[in-house]
């Protein structure tokens, strides 16, 4: 995959004819690497806004209408829902990070666990479907959504591995990985996102929706009767108000920061800003991402800068003082960037705020109108957002 808007738009145009009935009928079938014809594989582009959610929804509506395109539109909005849900519950992200640290420490000390984990991520468990998905993920950076659910369920309930280690494995390799969709998707399978509901991989379901590419036996998979809510009784915290962000000041000399959280903004978004320089801030190393994820991230940032007609200096988010140093060197009075949601980069930006404050350089963000409309509805389950989709579309498309 080429990490450019041009490539994303070409893929969007090619898949648009399938966004209606073909998608609704075929989206659950995982036919294997190179044969994912009923799903769009647009997620790496939408995740970085090389294609905007609004563009994908508008294409589906124009080609098929709201009724026939309903399933496709819902899947696009799921990602926005998850982001809004996590934004209002930042403690869930912090719990994931601290829990993962504990699991990794345990992995270093527990040899049987380390061996089981190694077999899982190397695709050597002996369960053909699971092993094939593990290899496909590592080799391609992609897994069909249904395969992601089966994989996570088998990881948690059949193999008995810590769910955060599985989420981390996905997050390091998925080209479309983001903190919200990845963390909350694994929590959903585990029964932690919606209490009393979990996802159990079943042999008949795998056989049917892989068209018998895989045919595990019932005995190969655990019988799941409950999720992890009793072993992880952290509960579902009530939503907090969405975090406010300091907006960029017009007329101010600005260091523009591009991240792969949003590579879709245009010169119109920079109106009134005196952009002194552009920095591409990469974050893949913060989650120990695979080389192909890191390359996709860097190229998406470069593509954004090129479309803005700007030269970009690529910088890794390591030393928290780097932004203050760059802004000072370039004579900038503020830093401006699209909104940074919960995740590894937000955690790093939190550390970078102190040196910025010491240098009297405000860190400013602007929130995309799509997020501003969708996120406030992510206070509970997806159903509440689903009910609002017709009005959301009418407001934004």
In the prediction, which pLDDT does 397 show? Answer: 85
Q: Which residues are bridge partners to 363 per DSSP?
A: 335
Region 5-86+373-396: CATH code: 1.25.40
Write out pLDDT tens, residues 27-42.
999 999 999 999 999 9
Pick the closest to residue 67 from 114, 99, 4, 23 (CA basis). 23
Fold of the domain spanning 253-366: Rossmann fold (3.40.50)
Tokens at 208, concatenated: 């049917």
CB 214 within 8 A of CB 132: yes
Q: What is the pLDDT of residues 187-234, one digit of tens each?
A: 999 999 987 899 999 999 999 999 999 999 999 999 999 999 887 766
Residue in 330, 336, 310 with CA at minimum distance from that of residue 249:
336
3-state secondary structure of 336: strand
pTM: 0.97
Greatest distance between any 2 Cα atoms in the chain = 67
Residue 121 and residue 166 in contact, taking contact as beta carbons nearer than 8 Å: no
Q: How far apart are CA 192 and CA 227, in angstroms?
A: 7
pLDDT at 234: 65
Across the strands, what pairs with 337? 365
The Cα–Cα gap between 171 and 392 comes to 29
As given in the structure block, the two tokens for residue 174 are: 């998925």
Tens-binned pLDDT, residue by residue, of the chain (397 aa): 899 999 999 999 999 999 999 999 999 999 999 999 999 999 999 999 999 999 999 999 999 999 999 999 999 999 999 999 999 999 999 999 999 999 999 999 999 999 999 999 999 999 999 999 999 999 999 999 999 999 999 999 999 999 999 999 999 999 999 999 999 999 999 999 987 899 999 999 999 999 999 999 999 999 999 999 887 766 688 999 999 999 999 999 999 999 999 999 999 999 999 999 999 999 999 999 999 999 999 999 999 999 999 999 999 999 999 999 999 999 999 999 999 999 999 999 999 999 999 999 999 999 999 999 999 999 999 998 999 999 999 988 8
So what's the pLDDT on residue 196?
81
- State phi, psi for 158 to the nearest 5 degrees: -90, -45
* pLDDT score of 278: 98
Cα 165 to Cα 45, 112, 169, 183, 289: the distances in Å are 25, 15, 6, 11, 14
φ/ψ of residue 277, rounded to 5: -165, 165
Going from N- to C-terminal start, the domains of the chain cover: 5-86+373-396, 97-220, 253-366
Domains 5-86+373-396 and 97-220 share a fold: no
H-helix or E-strand containing 337? strand 334-338
Q: What is the CATH number of domain 97-220?
A: 1.10.579.10
Q: How far apart are CA 293 and CA 278, in angstroms?
A: 22
What's the pLDDT score for residue 118?
98
Rounded CA-CA distance 16/19 in Å is 5
Nearest to 96 by CA among 377, 344, 360, 268: 344
Tokens of 28: 């659950």
What is the pLDDT, as a whole number, of residue 229? 87
CB neighbourhood size of 180 (10 A): 23
């Amino acid at each position: 995959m080429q990490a450019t808007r041009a490539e994303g738009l070409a893929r969007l145009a090619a898949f648009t004819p399938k966004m209606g009935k073909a998608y609704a009928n075929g989206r659950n079938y995982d036919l294997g690497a190179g044969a994912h014809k009923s799903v769009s594989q647009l997620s790496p582009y939408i995740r970085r806004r090389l294609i905007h959610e609004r563009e994908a929804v508008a294409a589906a509506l124009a080609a098929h209408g709201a009724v026939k395109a309903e399933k496709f539109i819902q899947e696009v909005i799921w990602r926005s829902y998850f982001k809004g849900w996590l934004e209002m519950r930042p403690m869930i992200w912090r719990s994931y990070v601290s829990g993962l640290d504990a699991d990794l420490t345990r992995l270093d000390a527990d040899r049987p666990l380390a061996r089981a984990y190694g077999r899982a991520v190397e695709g050597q468990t002996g369960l053909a479907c699971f092993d094939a998905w593990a290899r496909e993920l590592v080799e391609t950076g992609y897994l069909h959504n249904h395969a992601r659910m089966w994989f996570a369920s088998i990881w948690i309930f059949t193999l008995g591995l810590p769910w955060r280690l599985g989420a981390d494995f996905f997050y390091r390799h998925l080209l479309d990985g983001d903190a919200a969709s990845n963390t909350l998707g694994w929590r959903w399978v585990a029964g932690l996102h919606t209490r009393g509901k979990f996802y159990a991989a079943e042999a008949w379901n795998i056989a049917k929706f892989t068209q018998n590419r895989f045919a595990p036996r019932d005995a190969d998979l655990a019988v799941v009767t409950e999720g992890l809510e009793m072993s992880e009784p952290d509960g579902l915290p009530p939503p907090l108000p969405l975090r406010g962000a300091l907006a960029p000041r017009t007329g101010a000399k600005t260091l523009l920061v591009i991240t792969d959280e949003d590579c879709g903004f245009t010169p119109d978004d920079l109106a009134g800003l005196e952009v002194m320089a552009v920095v591409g801030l990469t974050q893949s190393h913060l989650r120990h991402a695979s080389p192909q994820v890191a390359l996709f991230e860097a190229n998406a940032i470069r593509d954004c800068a090129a479309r803005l007609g700007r030269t970009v200096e690529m910088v890794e988010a390591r030393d928290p003082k780097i932004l203050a140093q760059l802004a000072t060197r370039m004579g900038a009075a503020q830093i401006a960037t699209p909104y940074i949601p919960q995740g590894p980069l937000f955690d790093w930006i939190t550390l970078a705020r102190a040196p910025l404050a010491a240098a009297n350089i405000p860190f400013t963000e602007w929130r995309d109108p799509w997020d501003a409309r969708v996120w406030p509805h992510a206070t509970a389950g997806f159903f509440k957002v689903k009910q609002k989709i017709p009005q959301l579309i009418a407001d934004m498309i």
